[in-house]
Structure 1
């Protein structure tokens, strides 16, 4: 009888022990860069760190990932730097300061303010009175696009007809004439925009230099960026804004876990680059690109060893 009880206890404990080794990395929609990037990282970690299994989780991206990391529902998540900074400072979508750290920076996201060439829209200011997708609810795109429009004097509640669509929904709605303009904030060559440009005559609107300067003054985590000509079919060079993406983790993650995640990611980054070209920017030199949010001590330990 005693042996039976012991066996039963072990059987009950085994699933809990196994689940404690299973983790997720928050990504975004499947038409963006976050999902393949997160999937590649998950595989690298699963294949090279003992006793853990990591899977990529589809999500609404930055805001959702940051919240779920803090709640302990995700091990880590990809997020735009401005969102993580807001969480750390307890502003914007975050009513209180969140216990977040950065594991390391990944690559810059670029503001793609898009419309069809025959839309009659030639600048962001022409979006007034139009139907505009600001990005998926809870995404960094939605945070950035709303902040940019407000900075340029456009009230997102009164001056436009705002809808909240993810990458593929935005390009589909533009193609079908359901909206007039839309924002995608993603890496250079992001798949949704690349595919959109192959099927439609699109334009990506430049952000004027004075508007960029004003916005960067209000949100110092951003910087200016020029998308080269022909990154997207038929699209000339575009002056826009960029913001670094980062891996966000909870501040109380163990130093050893953060160290192993950072070490393994950098030692196998070539495998990630085979999947996502943007990972060429994921280097130890760029690890601390997001000012204002501390790196996790475990990540700092690894980076110090490389100097």
Structure 2
């Protein structure tokens, strides 16, 4: 009888220990989850930032920005050369990168599922913030005889990769001038290939969408007298009305050795992020970008300000970035 009571007592004690352990385990799990959320324990250790071609603006600017993020947050951030906007959005969509430079118009098209993203809307990419104006430059040599957009008819013209931001810009500019890609001999070249082709005489002109001055065009101007084709005011007005993400822009005299200002249009460069990146991480990198922009040497850094951080954004802002903007009292116009 005594033996039986001992076994019963031991069983009861074991049951109580298991019950208390289970309760303690639940509390521990809950505390861990709360800590990850509030203390940032789920913050990423590495970030890959897709930029653009090495001869454009995204790559050098992205390199400086990545350094600022790494130093300010402790998150190792690497700027990687890429095919720019459209490919960058797809890479974010497919989980191949966390951050990317994109044009505001391209990512808006992606979310809407139109143009290059027809039938394939992107639903997992969010905005960090706007950076600087990206000017659509129709580059040619001064002796090409090309003075207007209509003069491009029948010419060999680089329009960027199919589906890229530059390609779509070229398509829309031709459209408001009553033209299509069929009216030109379209070549799908990157910026460096485009300016090299103009220098060698293999192409007549190139559409280049990038912040000015663009490295590839500066390089061309060192060996060739450069001309940038102006867009007439009525066509600018038509573009802005039809596609609100465009804005009138001016390439100042002296840029590339130009003797006069050139009127054209621009979209905005922005930084986009995969929605899977934790809120704390995006908060920290957003803060790092906008609070350290003045330390960057690139000419476009002066445009990276809190005052314009939400300009032209046509998609949802990541909660981490929004938290930072809310703290700073920044709202969309």
**Aligned residue in 1 for 2:99:** 76
**SS of the residue 2:216 aligns to:** helix
CA contact (8 A) 2:53 2:191 kept: yes
Residue matched to 1:134:
159
Contact 1:109 1:187 in 2 (8 A): yes
Q: Distance in 1 between matches of 2:313 and 2:321?
A: 15
Q: CA deviation digits over 1:158-187, x for unaligned, max 9?
A: 211100111111001001110111111111
TM-score, reference length from structure 2? 0.82
Structure 1 residue 64 corresponds to structure 2 residue 87: yes
| CA-to-aligned-CA distance 1:5-45 (integer Å, 9 cap, x gap) | xxxxxxxxxxxxxxx73321010110111001111111112
Among 209, 220, 240, the residue aligned to 1:185 = 209
- Taking the aligned partners of 2:79 and 2:259, their CA distance within structure 1 comes to 32
For 1:264 and 1:291, locate their aligned partners in 2 and report how far apart those are by CA, in whole Å.
20
Shift of 1:137: 4.3
Look up the match of 1:115. Answer: 140
> What are structure 2's unaligned runs of at least 5 residues?
1-43
Distance 1:235 1:169, change over 3 A: farther
- The number of aligned residues is 284
What does residue range 151-300 of structure 1 map to in structure 2 within 5 Å?
A: 151-156=176-181, 158-271=182-295, 273-274=296-297, 276-300=298-322
Q: Give CA-to-partner distance per residue, 1:113-140, whole Å, 9 cap, x none.
A: 0111111211111101110000234531
Distance 1:47 1:252 in 2: 23
1:89 maps to 2:112? yes
Aligned to 1:3: none
In angstroms, what is the RMSD of aligned CA positions?
A: 1.4
SS at match of 1:212: helix
For 2:250 and 2:293, the matched residues in 1 are separated by 26
Whether the aligned pair in 1 keeps the contact of 2:195 and 2:217 (CA below 8 Å) is yes
Q: Give the distance between the partners of 2:187 and 2:60, measured in 1 at CA.
A: 26
1:35-92, CA deviations, whole angstroms, 9 ceiling, x for partnerless residues? 0111111111222223x31111111100011111121111110011100110111111
Paired residue secondary structure (1:74): coil
1:15 corresponding residue in structure 2 = none
- Aligned partner of residue 72 in structure 1, secondary structure: coil
Match of 1:302 in 2: 324
SS of the residue aligned with 1:23? strand
Q: Which residue of 2 aligns with 1:34?
A: 58
